[in-house]
Amino acid sequence: MTTRTKLVAARLLTDAEAPLIHDAAVCVEGGTITYAGPRGSAPTSPDTDETIIDLGDTTMMPGLIDCHIHLCQDPASGEITLEMSTDDDALRRRMVTNARRLLDVGVTTARDLGSPGALGTDVRDLLTTLPHATPRLLAANAPITVTGGHAASMGGVADGVDEIRAEVRRHAEQGVDLIKVMTTGGFMTPGSHPSQARYTVDELSALVTEAHAHGLPVTTHALGIEGIERAVLAGVDCIEHCGWVTTDGTQFDPRIAGMIVERGIAVSPTMNSACTAEHYMCPWDERDAVVGNLRKLVGLGATLVAGTDAGIPLVYFEQYADCLDTFLEAGMTPRRAIASATHIAAEVCGLDDVTGRLRPGLSADLIAVDGDPTQNIASLHHPRFVMAAGRRHEIHATELDSGYSATRERIRRELERGAGRHTSTGTE
């Protein structure tokens, strides 16, 4: 006898661009959606053992996607360096725990864009064997970077075209889902300024060519303007951060932004709780400038996807929706913000035939939230129900840092110092 779970709710949003369906149902068999539509039209069969879950006055919608996380890091540690434990077993346990925290806020798919060695793919494969619900994970393993460059401590060091090609091949043998390359320096690696480009266009082009030959997309950490342009010219598939960073702030470049849009390169601007008005500590520039730069990309129609950089100091996995709030401030509509977190993110991740929408044949990655998220996305902060690949996840509430601690202020000052910025609050 076939076993089916039927979820019923007051409303259903099958994808970010679809009309709301009232009095709706979603049927799930073996982790796959078999029906999504009006409740009255849902299939029935005497040969089916059906369990009905009534989600009441909520809206069912696709599970969320975070395109940029670091499962190996502890956001509560207060450490702003990428140096971490060499105990792989301890890091593996942390990564599994952090993965479950993603589900608490409805993130059913995520890209892990930096972990030591091959831990990312190890944990990705481990998650699929666990008896409880887990998020789908795409893993890049150690980012490819120059000697002494950003995240070099994770192990993906390669200098020059030959070493770069060899490192891409090594990653491919590890079974990565994508290649991540550090095109510029970063705030969390001493001596690696975010405005500095680290690879030439020729080197990046070799990396992209080798990666694509292995069927692997390329995303790049790119903060500084020169590094962003080199990445665009080399043909990367996605840019992380895209911060327009200079030696002492930011400067949006409409010419390069136009190239990004024209070439269809996706951008994951990693807006997060550190970018909100309440907890602002983004070291790139003042908040008006950072949100303003994003607003210009939104206005140009750039392909933007939700990513939080969760795992870095005081950017908690549970605060995913802060990213979407910032997207709204930058001019997105609620539907466009939802799209950036669902079907557009799925397309950029190469998973549009797996997840991102609620329709027959796709994975049963689903959340339920209060109200109508197409009008107000506030309820995305606290989903009422989460299902990943057909498995229900019991949501755990977590008390997080209030945002006013001495630790937050210290981290803000140290990050600004690393960026070369000097403010009136005591940076030197």
Query: pTM for the whole thing?
Result: 0.95
Per-residue model confidence (pLDDT) at position 193: 84
Q: Are 316 and 324 in contact (CB under 8 A)?
A: no
Q: Are 146 and 221 in contact (CB under 8 A)?
A: no
Per-residue model confidence (pLDDT) at position 417: 67
Distance of CA 117 to the CA centre of its chain: 20
Q: Are 13 and 32 in contact (CB under 8 A)?
A: no
In this structure, what token pair is assigned to residue 349?
A: 């991740």
In this prediction, residue 76 has a pLDDT band, given cuts at 50, 70 and 90, of confident
Q: Mean of the pLDDT values across residues 299-319? A: 96
CATH number of 2-62+358-393: 2.30.40.10
When the candidates are 3.20.20.140, 3.40.50.1980, 3.60.15.10, 3.40.50.150, the CATH number that belongs to 64-348 is 3.20.20.140
Residue-range domain boundaries for the chain = 2-62+358-393, 64-348
Q: Are 229 and 208 in contact (CB under 8 A)?
A: no
Per-residue model confidence (pLDDT) at position 408: 67
2-62+358-393 and 64-348 share one CATH topology?
no
Instruction: List residues bridging with 145 in a β-sheet.
Output: 157
Q: Mean of the pLDDT values across residues 49-65? A: 97
310/320 Cα distance (integer angstroms) = 8
Pairwise pLDDT comparison (24 vs 399), residue with the higher score: 24
Q: Are 36 and 80 in contact (CB under 8 A)?
A: no
- For 173, the enclosing helix (H) or strand (E) is helix 160-174
260/297 Cα distance (integer angstroms) = 9
Residue 425: is its pLDDT beyond 50?
Answer: no
315/334 Cα distance (integer angstroms) = 23
Per-residue model confidence (pLDDT) at position 82: 66
Alpha helix (H) residue ranges in 301-405? 321-329, 334-341, 343-348
Residue 356: is its pLDDT beyond 70?
Answer: yes
21/24 Cα distance (integer angstroms) = 6
Region of 132 on the Ramachandran plot (φ > 0 left; ψ -120 to 50 alpha; else beta): beta
DSSP assignment of 72-104 equals: TS-TTS---SS---S-HHHHHHHHHHHHHHHHH
Q: Are 363 and 399 in contact (CB under 8 A)?
A: no
Interval 86-135: pLDDT, tens: 789 999 999 999 999 999 999 999 999 999 999 999 999 999 999 999 99
Question: Which is nearest to 224 in space by CA: 276, 149, 314, 300?
Answer: 149
Interval 206-263: pLDDT, tens: 999 999 999 999 999 999 999 999 999 999 999 999 999 998 899 999 999 999 999 9
Interval 328-337: pLDDT, tens: 999 999 999 9
